[in-house]
Amino acid sequence: MAALAGSEVVAAAPARWGFTNRTWLATLADGRRVAVQLLAGREVARRRLRVGARLAERLAAAGVPTAPLLGGDADAAAPFALHAFVAGRNGAEALAADAGAVRLARLMGGLAPRLAAVDTRGLRLPSTWADPARLAGAARRWLERAGPRLDGATSRALRAAVAGVEPLFAGRRPVFAHGDFAPVNVLLAPVPGRRAETAAALLDLEFARPADPLLDVAWWGWIVRFHHPSRWPVAWPAFLAAAGGPDASAAFADRVRTLQLLRLLELLDRAGRRAADTWAARLAVTARW
């Protein structure tokens, strides 16, 4: 890591935020700071390192800032990525109060159409979510494997969601999706001379993929509603307004719900033994919404 950074590490401390991946903030002998992210699996690490630099360029062209990738090693005992340090507070901290939640929702809602404009050509991103028929087929396999962990009501809700994928999403053009578009994956920094904040960097792009334009919208809504339910009533309308306008149609609600359920089902399918029960429980709660 010192060779990649060009200087020895003299101090390091774990970042306050981080769930799937663990992040350490390190100080180098030359005074620079870097973020060292220990990645959850070699496949994730290889994808991050393979597309990281090109993806960062395309995100920047679309007006989406990221933490510059300095390098990494997918074959290390603990696979890692090394990023330039970006100053800012984690977006999840803004959810401590309604006013902060609304400001965060407007910022991240404004990022959603920029993300959708990112060029995915040549990046070789996972394509399962780009085609409704392929997604439905994958979801049927996830559901079959998850069966023993799911109660009857949740299984019925998921079967209905899977059956609705092709009619709900047929003919919709896939766009770039972050794949884990959540408050915890953005850094906020103050705007000089103003009592406002801006998005300083969007983090953790290892789940990037082409998908329906509502995938990032749906996932942001699920994260806030599930983990911050007291903020969801004020944050969700503000997010939708910033993302392009609220949509009260039944089709919009059905698409959002279907994408949330299928993303949870995918995460359950990929979870290890210890985490699987947690994701199954989250699915059961979401199925009752």
Which of 15-24, 56-65, 131-140, 170-179 has the lowest average pLDDT? 15-24
Q: Which CATH number fits domain 89-287: 3.90.1200.10, 3.40.640.10, 1.10.3720.10, 3.40.50.920?
A: 3.90.1200.10
How are the residues of the chain apportioned to helix, strand and coil, as percentages rounded to the nearest 5?
50, 15, 30
Judge contact between 222 and 266, C-beta under 8 A: no
Percent of the chain with pLDDT over 90: 72
- pLDDT tier, 127 (very low <50, low <70, confident <90, very high otherwise): very high
Angle at 125 between CA 140 and CA 122, to 5 degrees: 140
Give CA–CA dist 238/192, Å, rounded: 24
Judge contact between 158 and 265, C-beta under 8 A: yes
Query: Does residue 27 carry a pLDDT above 70?
Result: yes
**All residues at 6 or more sequence positions from 46 whose CB lies less than 8 Å from its CB, including other chains:** 74
Query: Does residue 220 carry a pLDDT above 80?
Result: yes
**All residues at 6 or more sequence positions from 160 whose CB lies less than 8 Å from its CB, including other chains:** none
Give CA–CA dist 132/138, Å, rounded: 10
Tokens of 19: 């769930």
Residue 194's pLDDT is 86
This prediction has a pTM of 0.93
DSSP state, 204? -
In terms of Cα–Cα distance, which of 184, 133, 220 is closest to 21?
184
Judge contact between 186 and 17, C-beta under 8 A: no
Give CA–CA dist 221/211, Å, rounded: 16
Judge contact between 146 and 265, C-beta under 8 A: yes
Residue 272's pLDDT is 87
Residue 142's pLDDT is 98
Q: For the chain, list the strands marked E by DSSP.
A: 9-14, 22-28, 33-38, 69-73, 80-84, 89-90, 175-177, 186-190, 197-202, 209-211
Q: Mean pLDDT over all residues of the chain?
A: 93
Structure-derived torsion over alpha carbons of residues 89, 214, 21, 39, reported in degrees to the nearest 10: -130
The residue that leads in pLDDT, 130 or 14, is: 130
Give CA–CA dist 36/234, Å, rounded: 35
The residue that leads in pLDDT, 25 or 212, is: 212
Give CA–CA dist 47/280, Å, rounded: 27
CATH number of 2-84: 3.30.200.20
Residue 67's pLDDT is 92
Query: Does residue 18 carry a pLDDT above 70?
Result: no
What integer is the mean pLDDT of 197-212?
Answer: 94
Domain boundaries, the chain: 2-84, 89-287
DSSP state, 9? E
Residue 215's pLDDT is 98
Query: Does residue 120 carry a pLDDT above 90?
Result: yes
Query: Does residue 225 carry a pLDDT above 70?
Result: yes
Judge contact between 164 and 156, C-beta under 8 A: no
pLDDT in tens, 69-105: 888 999 988 898 899 999 999 999 999 999 999 999 9
How far CA 92 is from CA of 96, 189, 231, 276, in Å, comes to: 8, 13, 11, 24
What integer is the mean pLDDT of 59-73?
Answer: 93
In terms of Cα–Cα distance, which of 165, 175, 182 is closest to 265?
165
